[in-house]
Structure 1
Amino acid sequence: MAITTTRSTARTPPGPSRAAAVSMLMLMNRDRLAMMTGAARRYGDASRLPVGHKTLYFFNHPGHAKHVLADNAANYRKGIGLVHARRALGDGLLTSEGELWREQRKIIQPAFQSRRVAQQADAIAAEGARLVDRLHGRVGAGPVNLVDELTSLTLGVLGRTLLDADLHAFAGIGSDFSAVQDQAMFELATLSMVPMWIPLPHQVRFRRARRRLGRVVDRLVAESRGRADGTDDLLSRLVESTGREADPRVGQARLRDELVTLLLAGHETTASTLSWTLHLLDRHPAVWERVHAEAVETLGDRLPGYADLSRLTYTNAVIQEAMRLYPPVWLLPRLAVHSDVVGGYRVPAGADVLISPYTLHRDRRFWDRPDQFEPDRFAPGASTDRPRYAYIPFGAGPRFCVGNNLGMLEAVLVLAMLCRDLRLTGVPGRPVVAEPMLSLRIRGGLPVTVHRA
């Protein structure tokens, strides 16, 4: 007979004592990944982590992730980090809740339908060719920051595919988004207790960046309104939706929030994924050789198209394995609306709940040699009995990343183009360190030297 866990019989998750709250807060500020992996290793599937004046409930089992993110998703709102990031990002799709989020998702969803994504392959290939040409000009020259180059690429793709705009026209937009992301993570680290008016250097940079991004948004909106061709791009849909607000100032603020969030989230995750993938290929030459050979055989000397996505099977597996080791969405924070029982553990109403794809993707119970880069584990036909929620690089449930298909198309086609034509090697002695921000990026960028393949 099955035994059902009720709230009265549920256990309290283990964890460090409340006296450790200050040291845990310091660890979260210094090394968030170490905090998460250490808790998973010491306490197992569930733990209570006192951080400052808060207590975080960290669940690290696929079944627990399924319950929180999908089965009982209605009981969970956006949690720590994203709630605090609202002060920096406003109420865009990434941070909004309830009816506003549902309306935003309804407006944005059509832009990511399979038919529309397939139509974007040519734009992705054109931006990829632009990147390859730019890097060709650096052959034999000094190191280039690959993260900056990939950020320019993904912003260019985002502008062409979703906004019918040339974002290359806005110099410095990538660094402005970095300043916004830095502020968002500062809000998390300080639990939004530091007033924004205090002239700390990064807060000054954030305010300047936000003003510049506001001007970019205003220009994009003006250009969109000036087009009379009936274009049904995402920007036009957002302009129409926010224009229905009774107070024009509210509509303008909402439009800015939504576009800044879309631009940040839309380019950052793919740039991070490609950065980590190319770093891993540099560390594993045999894998690079296979990606190079597949690209040469599949593409020849032409630009890729949508049909090539299904032909570049090994390249696809490489991207998936890179996202396993370095998932762009490394943490999924939630806030329990009502009390709940997760995997037999009691979660009180109002509790901050954490699910970490980073730790799930490295759990030895579900992955052989989890710290090794082995793309063949994602090869077509590879047998596995892993639970579905052991691998969630794009999140899961109703909040599943709306742009996952476009992101995968972009990552696979661009990686094939880069590996077909170029060999990118890291700078000796330069450490590559993961920096868990809104996405899992490489701290300080990735300097590489460029060689012909």
Structure 2
Amino acid sequence: MTDTQSRSGGTRRRVPPGPSRWSTVKLLDMLLRDRLALMRTAANGYGDAVRMAIGPKTLYFFNHPDHAKYVLADNPGNYHKGIGLHQARRALGDGLLTSEGELWREQRRVIQPAFQARRIAAQAAVVAEETARMVGRLRTRTGDGPVDITAQLTELTLGVLGRTLLDEDLGGHASIGHDFEAVQDQAMFEVVTIGAIPQFLPLPKQLRFRAARARLQKATEELAAHRVPDTGQGGDDVLSRLLLSVRAERDPRVARRRLRDELVTLLLAGHETTASTLGWAFYLVDQHPRVAERLREEARSVLGERLPEFEDLHRLEYTTMVVEETMRLYPPVWMLSRIAQGPDVIAGYDVPAGADVVVCPYTLHRHPEFWERPERFEPERFDRDRRAQRPRYAYIPFGAGPRFCVGNHLGMMEAVFVIAMVMRELRLELPRGASVVPEPMLSLRVRGGLRMSVRRT
């Protein structure tokens, strides 16, 4: 434990260990070039609680299941969204991912019913149908050379999102995936440069961001224009619920902005994380032939030639373990940042009001105290017996506490069905010599996309 003299005089405050302020230039360089290495280095070098001064910011990084539980679940009222929030709001407005307080609670209340287990179960056929279409597209590309798997998965997850949550066909909005890439690129650029570059400068990245944001906002307006709720209950999809909820707003401009913010957030969160997880899963499976063969055997045994049904989820046990292990190694949300609203104490260390507090699932999921051979891909670690031996908060791919991901059940069903349906008849192979590099943006994606060759089994 490190004690430092307070500015006010004789009292001393307990400060976590960490790099000296002379390391700022090196830390800034790592923040810009390799953010995952920055977090790994901090955890490996200083332990479960680390204090890092990076430019004008000082991060309090906590990397233990008990710390994650305290910040995210036990005392969430003191920890509001933090680093990157301003940049995310430029793109998403005050949607469910970026709002706080009463506005967030109202937004969550409005959309929660659309994610109830009974409704998700009823959407299993939609997920299976959209996946069958993607498998059909991939089947026609066998032997043609590498295929952009990222684009295929993005098209799939947007198709599922449109039909399950919006009751809309998003086929006319093909640019959504590319637009979100431009938005994320600019948002993360502003985070890592700590706002040093003015937003009004007409830089190419900034211009792409503005154009992409405008297209996304236009897409939400078009989606809303297709649906005018009647005076009754309306539908049970998210879009219908949102339209009904904003009718209470007296100012039509406020209503329009609320609807836009919620839909843009839903479009991002509803497709990006699942597409990223599936990309990582196909990459990892290709690197582990034993896992691929076991997946193929399970899919053929459980499904045969038919489309999966909701009841098949609990039968596709190994496929589920593969998804869970994929999210351990490459959690879609790789970092959870918060700002302390008031002073606190975590793990015996003082956390001042206004401090930037960080929990990093990417490093937490590799903590050697809770994960044997943490860098290895071993789906069997998620069997029931081994899972019961680990602390609940050693694994938080969907976050934790009140802000636990509302779409986790739909995302898991989609990922399991997609992997099973692809693996029972196709092989996705990374070209020889190709490299796959993680890119930690708002989600953890494959840098430059994932291109794989398609083969019949």
**Where in structure 2 are the equivalents of 1:49-448 lying within 5 Å?**
49-225=52-228, 230-382=234-386, 384-448=388-452
| Residues 66, 226 of structure 1: alpha-carbon distance in 2 compared, 3 angstrom cutoff | closer
Cα gap change, 1:121 to 1:347, in 2 (>3 Å): same
Secondary structure of the structure 2 residue equivalent to 1:341? strand
Structure 1 vs Structure 2: percent identity of aligned residues? Answer: 62
Whole-Å Cα distance in 1 between the matches of residues 255 and 328 of structure 2?
A: 39
CA deviations over 1:301-344 (Å, ceiling 9, x no partner): 00001001000000000000011111111100000000000011
Q: Any conservation in 2 of the 1:88–1:183 contact (CA below 8 Å)?
A: no
Q: Alignment partner for residue 46 of structure 1, among 40, 46, 49?
A: 49
Give the number of equivalent residue pairs.
447
Aligned to 1:3: none
Give per-residue Cα distances to partners, 1:383-437, cap 9 Å, x unaligned: 6422111111111011111111110010001110010121000011111000001
TM-score by length of 2: 0.95
The CA deviation at 1:242 is 2.2
Unaligned runs of 5+ in 2: 1-5
8 Å contact from structure 1 (residues 156, 166) kept in 2: yes
> Displacement of 1:139 after TM fit?
0.7
Tell me whether 24-33 or 291-300 shows the greater mean CA deviation. 24-33
CA contact (8 A) 1:118 1:306 kept: yes
Helix, strand or coil: the match of 2:113?
A: helix
- C-alpha change, 1:383 and 1:432, in structure 2 (3 Å) is closer
Give the Å deviation of 1:276: 0.4
For 1:447 and 1:77, the matched residues in 2 are separated by 38
Further displaced range: 269-278 or 232-241: 232-241
Q: 1:186 deviation in Å?
A: 1.9
C-alpha displacement of 1:108: 1.3
Shift, 1:231, TM fit: 2.1
Report the more deviating stretch, 350-359 or 165-174: 165-174
Report the residue type matching 1:173 in the other structure.
Answer: I
C-alpha distance in 1 between matches for 2:200 and 2:252 = 26
Q: Report the CA distance between 1:170 and its aligned residue.
A: 1.4
Structure 1 residue runs of 5 or longer lacking an equivalent are 1-6
Q: Is the 8 A contact 2:83 2:356 kept in 1?
A: yes
In the alignment, the residues of structure 2 paired with residue 84 and residue 178 of structure 1 have an alpha-carbon distance, to the nearest angstrom, of 14
Large movers: runs of 4+ above 4 Å: 7-10, 226-229
In structure 2, what is the Cα distance between the partners aligned to 1:247 and 1:21? Answer: 47
Does the CA contact (< 8 Å) of 1:422 and 1:450 recur in 2?
yes
Query: Cα distance, 1:195 vs. partner?
Result: 3.1
Q: Distance in 1 between matches of 2:421 and 2:385?
A: 25
TM-score, normalised to structure 1's length?
Answer: 0.96
Q: Residue 258 of structure 2 aligns to a residue in which SS?
A: helix
Which region of structure 1 is more displaced relative to structure 2, 213-222 or 238-247? Answer: 238-247
Paired with 1:433 and 1:233, the residues of 2 have a C-alpha distance of 37
Decide whether aligned partners of structure 1 residues 412 and 383 sit closer, same or farther in structure 2, where only a CA change above 3 A counts: closer
Deviation of 1:94 after TM superposition, in Å, equals: 0.8
Kindly indicate whether the alpha-carbon contact (under 8 Å) linking 1:46 and 1:60 is maintained by their aligned counterparts in 2.
Answer: yes
Q: Whole-Å Cα distance in 1 between the matches of residues 231 and 99 of structure 2?
A: 31
Deviation at 1:246, TM superposition (A): 2.1
- Give the stretch that moved more between structures: 169-178 or 436-445: 169-178
Query: Counterpart of 1:4?
Result: none
What is the CA-CA distance between 1:210 and the residue it aligns to? 1.1
Shift of 1:187: 2.6
Structure 1: distance between partners of 2:186 and 2:109:
28
The DSSP-based 3-state class of the residue aligned with 1:122 is: helix
Q: Shift of the alpha carbon at 1:196?
A: 2.7
SS across alignment from 1:427: coil
Match of 1:451 in 2: 455
Residue 194 of structure 1, CA deviation: 3.1
Superposition RMSD in Å:
1.6
How far 1:84 moved relative to its partner?
A: 3.0
Where 2:253 maps in the other structure, the secondary structure is helix
Q: Is the 8 A contact 2:344 2:353 kept in 1?
A: yes
Bigger mean CA offset, 325-334 vs 178-187: 178-187
Q: 1:226 deviation in Å?
A: 7.4
Between 1:378-387 and 1:297-306, the stretch displaced more is: 378-387
Aligned to 2:3: none
Q: Does the 8 A contact of 1:10 with 1:341 survive in 2?
A: no
Shift, 1:380, TM fit: 3.4
Contact 1:76 1:337 in 2 (8 A): yes
Is contact 2:428-2:453 (8 Å) kept?
yes
Offset at residue 83 of structure 1 (A): 3.6
**Take 1:382 and 1:446, find their aligned partners in 2: how far apart are those partners?**
32
Q: Counterparts of 2:246 and 2:197 in 1: how far apart (Å)?
A: 31
Q: Report the residue type matching 1:329 in the other structure.
A: V
1:264-313 CA deviation, whole Å, 9 max, x = no partner?
Answer: 01100000100000000000011000000000000010000100100000
1:28 and 1:334 map into 2 onto residues whose CA distance is: 18
Q: 1:227, CA displacement in angstroms?
A: 8.2
The one-letter amino acid of 2:157's match is T
